[in-house]
Structure 1
Amino acid sequence: MDTIAVRMPKSSVFLSVIKKFGKPIAAPSANESGYISSTKAIHVFHSFKKKIDLIIDSGQSDFGLESTIIDLSSNKIILKRPGIIDIESLEVFIGKKIYESKTNTKKPNSPGQFLKHYSPITPLKLNVKLPKDGDAFLGFGKLNFNHNPSLNLSKKGDLNEAAFNLFNFLRKLDKLNKNNISVYPIPKKGIGKAINERLARAECK
């Protein structure tokens, strides 16, 4: 690649690691490529076990989703990966229009661009309003039915809470070895766009 992505983390623990080291750090994602992202130290441990020497545990990720990535290498500002900072907020901050990138499966030039990504082992089904018996269910908002087993990303319909819980809950449901993980529709607004983008890639076979 002829470009690099530069990121300043918010985590006070990781900022102290950078300060202690005194130089930029190349830090790839702490999870196996293609599988559900890690948001807790225990997720990292289960992914790598003895393949790495040290895990620094600073608690669960504050936001749950990966960073927003924008490409500034041309005249147009391109959104490479939606994240916790939504495109509307970025456009207000930058003062310019941001264009959405098309997925490049042959030669991705940014993290998270493969069609299949963030995927559980259990098949995922999206926009399911009534799950079938034998399926695990990932809900959102106030629902008028019960299903077992199920987890709710946010009973009060808070998209930020849903983003915080997304990967952790997917990992929990994946461990149950059900026929499918059925996911209730998530609003496609604000950070909901990033949540739906992750789920769409996770659904790909």
Structure 2
Amino acid sequence: MKVAVIKYNAGNVQSVLYALERLGVAAELTDDQEVISKSDKVIFPGQGEASTAMRYLKERGLDKLIPELKQPFFGVCLGQQLLCEYSEENDTPCLGVFPVKVKRFVPENKELFKVPHVGWNNIFELKSPLLEGLNDESFVYYVHSYYCEVSDYTIAKTNYVLDFAALMHKDNFYTMQAHPEKSGLVGERILRNFLDL
């Protein structure tokens, strides 16, 4: 199985490669359109800032390629947000795979809810083969200041300040706001489920 991990100047990519290695998959980190197109699975991870990441994708023509891909595709953290239509982070138009907006957390109680949202939180209302073997008591690890709104594409929610889309699914595109590579056995299970799709 050929797995491409998209390189786009975002942080935290190496830990995703290590997580895949632990599952017996040697993925290729690449921004080469041909390599990405011919891969069996594509993973789009990363931490960073939306407008900078989108600029990199456009410079390499990946903004046109990604929405056209037909193989199972997994967007993680910033990778989830960039698959939406728009992010409030620096007023950034994104890839538009999901007709969903990405918003900044604005808690009324700043003592109770710190931004960024960092740490463990549970996912609930699970509905997808991607989440097979997990339940509403499954915890994942977050680091983010922006969130995807709940929509018809939401396949699991998390509550922090409000309910937001923890994971989403549309056609061959799956996404996760938390970091599977930092989420212990739960994250490992989600990555394995994705590779088994």
Same fold (TM over 0.5): no
Name which structure has the greater RCO, CA cutoff 8 Å, separation 6+: 1
Pick the structure with greater CA Rg. Answer: 1
Q: TM-score of the superposition, structure 1-length normalised?
A: 0.27
1 or 2, which has the higher strand percentage?
2
